[in-house]
Chain A
Amino acid sequence: MSDLEVSLSGKPKIALYWASSCGGCEIAVLGIHEKILDVANAFDIVLWPCVLDGKVADVEALKDGELLFTLFNGAIRNDENYEMAQLLRRKSQLLVAFGSCAHEGCIPGLANFSNRRQMFDWIYHNAPTTHNPDGVEPAAGGWEFPEGRVHIPAYWDTVKTLDQVVDVDYYLPGCPPEADRIWDALTAIMEGKLPPQGSVIGAHVTVCDECLRSKHEKKITKFYRPHQIIPEPDLCLLEQGILCAGIATRSGCGALCPQVNMPCRGCYGPNQGVVDQGARFLSGVASVIDSQDPEEIEAILDTIPDPAGTFYRFSLPHSLLHRVAWGAHPGESILSGNGQEA
């Protein structure tokens, strides 16, 4: 059947998929506006769950490598995400990690500061908005109901990025990726002008390079969260004590957030050649604190309420440490690898 369709339309097939994500990347694809029609003219979209009615079975029926490319957004946090990543890898010539979740782990990746049990406790029991008197939790496995069979995928303790479970050809960073970069990537594929495999499609400079605010020597005596201060309009936000991740973040976005008085949050991930975005951000911020007195330094650092969550907001699963130590709740000892107390 699929062979016939190829011969009829003569168009290469593509897929777009979401794993553990918010859906924003799907909207971002539509941010290319009417050019989406060019995409539809150039390709047959086999699977795009948010927009079209393609089924997983349609993908399974394809030959290996029959999809020209797949734009895969979302992190890998359960068995279903993992199986779809493997399936789409097998069926695609090019697999693109689309958006920060697939690239770096993004906001879903912050779950790596906890584990499955803690996530379930909050989501299904303790969150103020949860009403679950019977204490029902999702139980992995196949279950028979009068209406049919339901398969619930197992939920992982640790969120992983796409390239931690399958090989990835290109990365399109951002939360979500900017429409211009998406179009760059699509035209590169349509015109066959692909960058070297493994490339991140974005700039090779930091957000600061694209930011128009004036920058001077930085001396910080207090940090502010965005709601605690009305920033000067044209002055570097970090100089004003606002934790702006522009110093440690790849550009390609056009430095949009600082233009509207919001600090860069770091969604484009580390710049070219940087291993760990959080460490780079941390290092830069710490070095411009204006004090040489340990106690005063500690007092200034007290104004950063959540250092790890701030520095690793988008990149925790792709960072060097990857996740919190097992069992490391406040006041507890770290559990060693075999689950025994170290």
Chain B
Amino acid sequence: MSEKDNFEPVIVGFLCNWCSYRAADLAGTSRIKMPPNVRDIRVMCTGRLDPVFVLKALREGADGVLVMGCHPGQCHYVEGNYKTMRRMALLKRTLRQFGLEDERVRLEWASAAEGPKFAATVTQMTETIRELGPLNWKQLLGGNGHFRPVLEPELEEVAA
């Protein structure tokens, strides 16, 4: 009996207005079954996605962040998604150093016609995060004192 048993992942999805958000619409109107764990936020372009949005989502309680945009070469603003491709690559490297699993932040492409791909991505990511368990970043910060003597024995066990 752990909190993992009845854990429902909270995933924040940032979707591009011109493609992935419409893919999400298509998945809905097509009645494709998918888990309700992704909270969609529409952005005009994934190039608008400041890495701060991802960090803030993770800090404020999200267990994962899903970013979806137009396929490379199909950006409404010519190269916004290429910028995102680079930013997410560098952000993932940085988050790895913060001890976050790679799977918690995911970048995928879906055109407005790819409702089934959207649903499959959401399903797959939800299951992946469910396996990883809750992130609980705020609890990880450890309260006001940030002094965690209690944690030390466990840390030593892990290190051993």
Chain A residues, Cβ within 8 Å of B139:
336-338
B87 touches A326 (CB 8 A): no
Chain B residues, Cβ within 8 Å of A324:
97-99
A160 touches B146 (CB 8 A): yes
Count of chain A to chain B residue pairs whose CB atoms are closer than 8 Å in the complex: 157
A335 touches B154 (CB 8 A): yes
Chain B residues, Cβ within 8 Å of A332:
158
> Taking CB as reference atom, which chain A residue is nearest B97?
A308
B140 touches A286 (CB 8 A): no
Min CB gap A36→B, angstroms: 36
A337 and B136 in contact (CB under 8 A), knowing A116-B152, A156-B146?
Answer: yes
B52 touches A308 (CB 8 A): no
**Number of chain A residues whose Cβ lies closer than 8 Å to a Cβ of chain B:** 53
Chain A residues, Cβ within 8 Å of B93:
301, 304, 307-308
A342-B135 Cα distance, complex, nearest whole Å: 8
A326 touches B140 (CB 8 A): yes
Stretch at the interface among B8-16, B28-36, B54-62: B54-62
Chain B residues, Cβ within 8 Å of A326:
99, 140, 142, 148, 151, 155
**Does B150 sit within 8 A of A, measured CB to CB?**
yes
A337 touches B142 (CB 8 A): yes
A286 touches B99 (CB 8 A): no
Min CB gap A139→B, angstroms: 12
> Taking CB as reference atom, which chain B residue is nearest A306?
B97
**Does A285 sit within 8 A of B, measured CB to CB?**
yes
A157 and B146 in contact (CB under 8 A), knowing A287-B83, A287-B86, A323-B141?
Answer: yes
Chain B residues, Cβ within 8 Å of A279:
50-52, 55, 91
> Taking CB as reference atom, which chain A residue is nearest B143?
A337
**Does B124 sit within 8 A of A, measured CB to CB?**
no
Chain B residues, Cβ within 8 Å of A286:
83, 86-87, 89-91
A15-B86 Cα distance, complex, nearest whole Å: 48
B60-98 CB mask vs A (1 if < 8 Å, else 0) is 000000000000100000010011011101110110011
A-B contact pairs, 24 of them (CB 8 A): A115-B155, A156-B145, A157-B147, A279-B52, A292-B79, A292-B82, A297-B85, A307-B93, A321-B137, A323-B140, A325-B98, A325-B137, A326-B140, A326-B151, A326-B155, A328-B100, A334-B140, A335-B155, A336-B3, A336-B133, A336-B140, A339-B150, A340-B2, A342-B4
